[in-house]
Amino acid sequence: MKQKQSLSSVSVTILLCALTFTGTVLFMQHRYRKTEEKFQRLAELDQYIQQNFYTDYDEDALMDSMLKGYVSGLGDRYSSYMTPEEYDSLMTKEAGKTIGIGVTVVQNEEGYPEIIEVQENSPAEKAGLHPEDVILAVEGEDVLTVGYTESISRVRGEEGTAVNLKVRQDGTEKEISIVRETFDVTTVAGQMLDGHIGYIQIVSFRENTADQFQNALDELLAQGADALIFDVRDNGGGLLSALEKMLDPLLPKGDIATATYQGDETEVVLKSDAEELNLPMAVLVNGNSASAAELFSASLRDFKQAKLVGTQTFGKGIMQVTTRMPDGGGLTLTVATYQTTKSECYHGVGLTPDVIAELPDDAETDVQLEAAKKLFESGR
């Protein structure tokens, strides 16, 4: 009897294996047929274009457009195909670097670019440019003649090349030649506010952001900060690797966030060690706080380290991975949703602040910052 039962079990096991194998083969055959159909349709389209298009065309540009269109067919605004040049540019950006002269400009009432920010250690700073300087001409051509947008485009260029500008500085016009460089972008800035409140603004999460954040945090703590405000308003996100390094000194030991991939496979993507900063904290957020900025905020709140102040956040709780493809281009693809280990995914919903505070466009003071500061008035 026992022998008969054992043989039956073996038979069932063999049958299940056979069914699994058959199912896998059928699935692969179906996928192969679908792939074959796609290439057949493309080949027919390509042949028709070659035989009938009325003039010559750029084969490489056609291929790039085809690949971009293929990925856009996913219907996901965050997934995209990039040309090799676009991929290299993204890698430079994610490294926290930029190529150029290092200024931020706005169009003034005259129609000229007026500098509102000069990046630290940038070619522009080395050349002596300052906020409120006005760019009048680029490569000898007046901005109003060439056009504002085109003039800004001409300021950009390849590393090691020079751009010649006519600038109005303190009422005096002068010619300046600036060599474009690759330089670090400042993504974190810290300062001490009244009442020993440390304020840290985080613009984005790049490869160099974690080091800049740690330096700002250490400096504020050394100055005696006994409360912290993190500002991620208008921060569209960035790299999870930078985010983990920034959260680590702030949170208790354990798993912080997980990602859920295709097939409901789950993986821990953020962890923290035993070191934990025990200070009152707040995070400033708004409708442009998205992705990693939201996960930063949600993590601090879910682990009872901070309160959120401001307005409802954007609601991007999905993760992209960027890969260089064999042709030299790149693919950014959405691969997972993510969330903290304490709450649900906020994708499409956003985070509701603990303290709702609107910031009118004509506000003379930063009412959101003031609302965050009030959180620390008691219990310190």
Residues designated as active site: 291, 302, 316
* 295 secondary structure, DSSP code: H
What span, in angstroms and rounded, lies between the C-alpha atoms of 19 and 10? 14
Please list, residue by residue across 5-24, b when 16 or more beta carbons sit within 10 angstroms of its beta carbon and e when fewer do: eeeeeeeeeeeeeeeeeeee
Measured on CA atoms in the order 116, 218, 292, 102, is the torsion positive or negative? Answer: positive
> Which helix (DSSP H) or strand (DSSP E) does residue 93 occupy?
helix 84-94
> Which helix (DSSP H) or strand (DSSP E) does residue 73 occupy?
none
* 238 secondary structure, DSSP code: B
367 and 299 Cβ atoms separated by less than 8 Å = no
3-state secondary structure at position 77: coil
Amino acid identity for residue 148 in this structure: Y
> Which helix (DSSP H) or strand (DSSP E) does residue 59 occupy?
helix 59-72
Q: What are phi and psi of 58, to 5 degrees?
A: -85, 110
* 220 secondary structure, DSSP code: H
DSSP-assigned letters across all residues of 338-354: EEETTS---TTT----S
What span, in angstroms and rounded, lies between the C-alpha atoms of 251 and 230? 14
What span, in angstroms and rounded, lies between the C-alpha atoms of 342 and 256? 8
